[in-house]
Amino acid sequence: MTKTRLIIIGTGMAATRLVDELTRRVPEAFDICMIGDEPTSPYNRVLLSSLLAGELDESELTLKTPDWWSQNNIRILTGERVTEIDKAARCVTLANGTILNYDQLVLATGSKPICLPLPGADLAGVMTFRDLADVAKIRAAMKPDASAVVIGGGLLGLEAAYGLAKANVKTSLIHLMDRLMERQLDAEAANMLRDDISARGISFHLSANTKKIHGAGKVEAIELMDGTVIPADLVVMAVGIRPNIDLAQGAGLTTGRGILVDDQLATSDPAIFALGECAEHRGIAYGLVEPAYEQARILAAHLSADSAAYAGSVTATNLKVHGIHLFSSGDFLGADGSDVIVLRDRGLKTYRKLVLKNEGGTTQLTGCLLYGDTSDGLWYAELIRQQTPVNSMRPLLAFGRDLATREAA
């Protein structure tokens, strides 16, 4: 049997999950070559925060044992950058000049961290937080008497600040918005988070805009628009990501914010697919790993000639800061016309908000936000994802799975 030559560009979490799915389905059908420009074998990027915080060793991030690749007949090229795709000739060129031919190509090139174009942003000591190399740089600068400023109060910024503060670095966090994690939390939960993060020794500047990074050769301070100057030996920019679409654009594939894909993850060229953070599906380029895993499952099925369609993902977020439990999924703010159930206990520092939609007599959960006790988070997320009618459990829904399902049964 002639094998399909499948090239995957990127050795990140989406690419690794895809080969995992493919080898489980049709190991003999493909001749797979995976190419990544990071020097290490694939690792769990989500756990970089735990690595930075000193809670895990680098070896614990590895996704596959060294033998796995050869046992599954997968050729993996690390430390190699693809510089060009020739759609007509169906080949890719590597930076070292090697040309590799494909029958089918998958782009899993992830995202790039956004660097604010501030005066001083090119000074030594200004860093991003995206890969193992970034973590090594930040850790090298994490001296106990150092001062750090993190720009960005989203998930990544908070996890970076936590890691720095845990190493006794004097840490300040600057956020443009008036509350932390505004894409995942409402004002009440964001205030609870701010209190818990402050208790870990991190100081905040909310509604703050950065004007300039000062320093002679290396960073010395950050200046805000209101004139506040914060001394800093290192600055971590965690202000967002941009899908990495350079190769796709160079090849003339249709792109928007990400590489445009249909429900089979096919790009504008039927022999080329994209998944993970570089892909844009129905107007959304996801920045989380679960959608990438769902896409990998669908793409593996499609490449194995099974019918499968990706309909988009309901996302869920939690924060990896020891002792802080938060979980948010779906429409956590509550769109017009929805019902909101809130359960709070200030003494226990717990807050639970459920958002419900009622249509034609059927009630569904459309969003949830849990702070303090997140034990039911995955169950709520599943109800949201499955669009399960919750009419019968509604009276006890806010009290969690055990009570709600017992009464409904």
Q: Look up residue 251 and give its amino acid.
A: A
Query: Residue 37 in contact with residue 81, Cβ under 8 Å?
Result: yes
214 is a site residue for ligand FAD (CB under 6 A): no
Of the two residues 10 and 120, which places its CB atom closer to ligand FAD in the complex?
Answer: 10
Binding part of the chain for ligand FAD, among 43-51, 62-70, 187-195, 209-217 by CB under 6 A, reads 43-51
Of the two residues 110 and 367, which places its CB atom closer to ligand FAD in the complex?
Answer: 110
Interface with ligand FAD (CB under 6 A), residue from 182, 290, 331, 382:
290
289 is a site residue for ligand FAD (CB under 6 A): yes
Helices (H), strands (E): how many in the chain? 11, 25
Count how many Cα atoms sit within 13 Å of the Cα of residue 174 in the half-sphere of its side chain.
Answer: 26
Interface with ligand FAD (CB under 6 A), residue from 277, 280, 294, 376:
277
Question: Least distance to ligand FAD from the beta carbon of 281, Å?
Answer: 13
Alpha-carbon distance values, 313 to 74, 287, 288, 303, 353 (Å): 29, 11, 10, 20, 21
For residues 106-145, which are near ligand FAD according to CB under 6 A? 108-111, 129-130
Query: Residue 342 in contact with residue 397, Cβ under 8 Å?
Result: no
Q: Which residues pair with 105 in a beta bridge?
A: 7, 272
46 is a site residue for ligand FAD (CB under 6 A): yes
281 is a site residue for ligand FAD (CB under 6 A): no
Question: Least distance to ligand FAD from the beta carbon of 292, Å?
Answer: 5
Query: Residue 36 in contact with residue 43, Cβ under 8 Å?
Result: no
DSSP alpha helices (H): ranges in 235-278?
246-250
156 is a site residue for ligand FAD (CB under 6 A): yes
Of the two residues 205 and 320, which places its CB atom closer to ligand FAD in the complex?
Answer: 320
Query: Residue 22 in contact with residue 308, Cβ under 8 Å?
Result: no
Count how many Cα atoms sit within 13 Å of the Cα of residue 234 in the half-sphere of its side chain.
Answer: 26
User: Running DSSP on this structure, what letter comes out for residue 43?
Assistant: B
10 is a site residue for ligand FAD (CB under 6 A): yes
Closest CA to 79 of 14, 140, 132, 122: 132
344 is a site residue for ligand FAD (CB under 6 A): no
82 is a site residue for ligand FAD (CB under 6 A): yes
Of the two residues 21 and 38, which places its CB atom closer to ligand FAD in the complex?
Answer: 38
Of the two residues 240 and 389, which places its CB atom closer to ligand FAD in the complex?
Answer: 240
Of the two residues 184 and 363, which places its CB atom closer to ligand FAD in the complex?
Answer: 184
Strand 272-274 versus strand 104-107 pairing type: parallel
For residues 364 and 348, what is the distance between their CA atoms, to the nearest angstrom? Answer: 28
Binding part of the chain for ligand FAD, among 102-110, 184-192, 301-309, 400-408 by CB under 6 A, reads 102-110
Binding part of the chain for ligand FAD, among 53-61, 214-222, 282-290, 297-305 by CB under 6 A, reads 282-290
Report the first-to-last Cα separation within the chain, whole angstroms. 53
Closest CA to 148 of 195, 201, 190, 112: 201
Of the two residues 22 and 247, which places its CB atom closer to ligand FAD in the complex?
Answer: 247
Q: Look up residue 87 and give its amino acid.
A: K
288 is a site residue for ligand FAD (CB under 6 A): yes
- Write each residue from 301 to 330 as x if it is in contact with ligand FAD (CB under 6 A), else as -, in one continuous string: -------------------x----------
Binding part of the chain for ligand FAD, among 38-46, 58-66, 136-144, 162-170 by CB under 6 A, reads 38-46
243 is a site residue for ligand FAD (CB under 6 A): no
Query: Residue 76 in contact with residue 34, Cβ under 8 Å?
Result: yes
244 is a site residue for ligand FAD (CB under 6 A): yes
Binding part of the chain for ligand FAD, among 285-293, 328-336, 366-374, 399-407 by CB under 6 A, reads 285-293
37 is a site residue for ligand FAD (CB under 6 A): yes
Sheet with 229-231, strands from edge to edge, namely 210-216, 218-224, 229-231
Of the two residues 153 and 276, which places its CB atom closer to ligand FAD in the complex?
Answer: 276
Question: Least distance to ligand FAD from the beta carbon of 329, Å?
Answer: 12
Count how many Cα atoms sit within 13 Å of the Cα of residue 224 in the half-sphere of its side chain.
Answer: 19
Token reading at 366: 């459309």
For residues 29 and 139, what is the distance between their CA atoms, to the nearest angstrom? Answer: 43
Interface residues with ligand FAD (CB under 6 A) are: 9-15, 35-38, 45-46, 48-49, 81-82, 108-111, 129-130, 156, 244, 247, 276-277, 287-290, 292, 320
